[in-house]
């Protein structure tokens, strides 16, 4: 991939609605590009920000990419007419002063944490040192060292479409989109089948820091992270024990209020679709990682995807979730592990199909001697509730062990419980 080229250092650029006269050095015409080539090094930063702050920062970085900035001493400076800026980022231009004032306070107090495990480097710096509004012009002054992290690292960058980024409705979807999108590409040396489907696993604690759910600028987190540790679970556990647990520390709250909101927004408005599965381990099956499956919306991958789906094995996590959901789905019907495992094979680990089979069983008059055989038949033959005739009690398939590694599954479940 090519590195981002910032162009020459022009005079201060002011956004204009239209330019009827020949272009002046202090004016900006239509953008040369519709995408921001954002450094993956910067995308992976850990910080907390509002949606409006993210949009303004995006617009400012976009102008630097276009070469529309100047220097004050060694610090890059971007100037924009405030009303035009608000239109670009999709906000009302009325009351610009009142909208920009609190955002400017947040922006200038924000410390940005940027890390690269590959290069064994980390940087914590004040991203923006000054934000000024005077005579209808909004001025953003960046830290003098910011060019080290805003230029694509070793040519590694992600194309982020301006209209897409500005359409996202929450800071969580804004950040999650760019965090996932940076992994959705094939390097030139890749020789495998290109399906446009990417599996990305994120540590839950680190993801919360990247989304801003955990504020790394809080005193306790800042202290723990200052030594460059990457044991994010350890840091979060230590601080959670010290302080009162916040609502988003609980997985169900984080899932409902942050993750699901972000995924829905991304799936409705961007060029990717996102699905995810929590990865659990330890006592009580605590979530420690999240496995994302990201699919590019591109028809050129359709045939390869059809082949992939036809041959795809069921993931262990799906089997694990099926095993623990089976008891609830079947109600009072008690089965051992091997029996549940075989039912999973029969219904392709679909809990709704298993639940329906259980309801059919409950509707039977009299005793069913071969419960597992009945459930297998109900799944295979798609029995309905209620049945029009009473089922014969001995005409169900005998229970036979399916193609399922019970020992391996039991070991996996035992590991999750530890």
Q: Is the pLDDT of residue 13 over 50?
A: no
The DSSP letter of residue 247 is: G
DSSP secondary structure, 88-139, as one string: HTT--STTHHHHHHHHHHHHHT-EEEEEETTTTEEEEEESEEEEEEETTEEE
* Bridge partner residues of 125 (DSSP): 112
Interatomic CA distance for residues 197 and 80, integer angstroms:
39
Place of tokens 């050129």: 300
Interatomic CA distance for residues 90 and 70, integer angstroms:
25
User: Rounded mean pLDDT of 337-358?
Assistant: 84
Q: Is the pLDDT of residue 18 over 50?
A: no
In this structure, are strands 35-39 and 197-203 parallel, antiparallel, or unpaired? unpaired
Lowest mean pLDDT, pick from 40-49, 108-117, 162-171, 340-349: 108-117
Q: Is the pLDDT of residue 94 over 50?
A: yes
| Common-topology check for domains 1-162 and 168-312 | yes
Higher pLDDT among residues 225 and 259, named by residue? 259
User: What pLDDT does residue 203 have?
Assistant: 93
56-76 pLDDT, tens digit each: 888 888 888 888 889 988 899
Q: What fold does the segment set 1-162 form as a domain?
A: Arc Repressor Mutant, subunit A (1.10.10)
The answer for 5, left when phi > 0, alpha when psi is -120 to 50, beta otherwise, is beta
User: What pLDDT does residue 408 have?
Assistant: 55
**Which long-range contacts (C-beta less than 8 Å, at least 24 apart) are formed by 246-251?**
248/208, 248/213, 248/214, 251/204, 251/278, 251/286, 251/287
Q: Is the pLDDT of residue 309 over 70?
A: no
Lowest mean pLDDT, pick from 109-118, 160-169, 291-300, 342-351: 109-118
The hierarchical CATH code for the domain 168-312 is: 1.10.10.10
Where residue 416 falls among pLDDT bands split at 50, 70, 90? Answer: low
User: Rounded mean pLDDT of 144-165?
Assistant: 78
72-84 pLDDT, tens digit each: 888 999 998 877 7
Across all residues in the chain, what is the average pLDDT?
Answer: 76
366-397 pLDDT, tens digit each: 788 788 888 988 888 888 876 454 444 444 44
Instruction: Tell me the domain boundaries of the chain.
Output: 1-162, 168-312, 316-417
User: What pLDDT does residue 170 have?
Assistant: 94
Where residue 205 falls among pLDDT bands split at 50, 70, 90? Answer: very high
Q: Is the pLDDT of residue 327 over 80?
A: no
245-293 pLDDT, tens digit each: 565 678 888 999 999 999 999 999 999 999 888 888 766 678 889 999 8
Which whole-number Å values give the CA distances from 118 to 39, 115, 121, in the listed order?
A: 15, 9, 8
């Amino acid at each position: 991939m090519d590195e981002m080229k910032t162009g020459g250092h022009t005079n201060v650029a002011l956004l204009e609605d239209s330019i009827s006269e020949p272009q002046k050095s202090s004016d900006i015409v239509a953008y040369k590009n519709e995408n921001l080539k954002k450094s993956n090094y910067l995308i992976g930063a850990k910080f907390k920000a509002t949606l409006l702050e993210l949009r303004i920062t995006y617009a400012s970085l976009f102008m630097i990419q276009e070469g529309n900035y100047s220097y004050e001493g060694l610090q890059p400076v971007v100037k924009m007419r405030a009303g035009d800026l608000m239109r670009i980022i999709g906000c009302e231009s009325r009351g610009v002063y009142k909208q920009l004032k609190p955002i400017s306070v947040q922006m200038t107090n924000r410390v940005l944490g940027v890390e690269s495990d590959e290069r064994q480097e980390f940087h914590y710096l004040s991203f923006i040192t000054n934000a000024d509004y005077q005579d209808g012009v909004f001025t953003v002054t960046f830290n003098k060292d910011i060019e080290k992290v805003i230029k694509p690292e070793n040519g590694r960058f992600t194309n982020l479409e301006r209209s897409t980024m500005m359409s996202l409705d929450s800071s969580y979807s804004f950040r999650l989109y760019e965090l996932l999108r940076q992994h959705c590409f094939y390097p030139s040396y890749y020789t495998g089948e290109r399906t446009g489907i990417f599996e990305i696993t994120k540590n839950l604690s680190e993801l919360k820091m990247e989304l801003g759910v955990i504020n790394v600028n809080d005193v306790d987190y800042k202290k723990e992270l200052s030594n460059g540790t990457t044991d994010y679970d350890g840091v979060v556990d230590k601080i959670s024990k010290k302080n009162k647990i916040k609502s988003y520390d609980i997985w169900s709250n984080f899932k409902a209020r942050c993750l699901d909101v972000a995924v829905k927004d991304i799936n409705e408005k961007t060029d990717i679709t996102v699905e995810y599965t929590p990865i659990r381990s330890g006592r009580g099956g605590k979530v420690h990682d999240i496995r994302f499956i990201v699919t590019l919306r591109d028809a050129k991958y359709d045939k390869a995807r059809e082949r992939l789906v036809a041959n795809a094995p069921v993931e262990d996590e799906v089997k694990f979730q099926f095993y623990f959901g089976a008891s609830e789905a079947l109600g009072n019907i008690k089965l051992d592990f091997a029996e549940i495992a075989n039912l999973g094979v029969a219904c392709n680990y679909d809990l709704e199909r298993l639940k329906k089979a259980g309801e059919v069983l409950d509707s039977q008059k009299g005793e069913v001697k071969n419960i597992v055989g009945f459930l297998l038949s109900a799944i295979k033959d798609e029995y309905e509730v209620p049945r029009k005739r009473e089922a014969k009690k001995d005409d169900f398939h005998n229970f036979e062990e399916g193609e399922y590694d019970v020992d391996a599954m039991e070991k996996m479940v035992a590991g999750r419980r530890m």
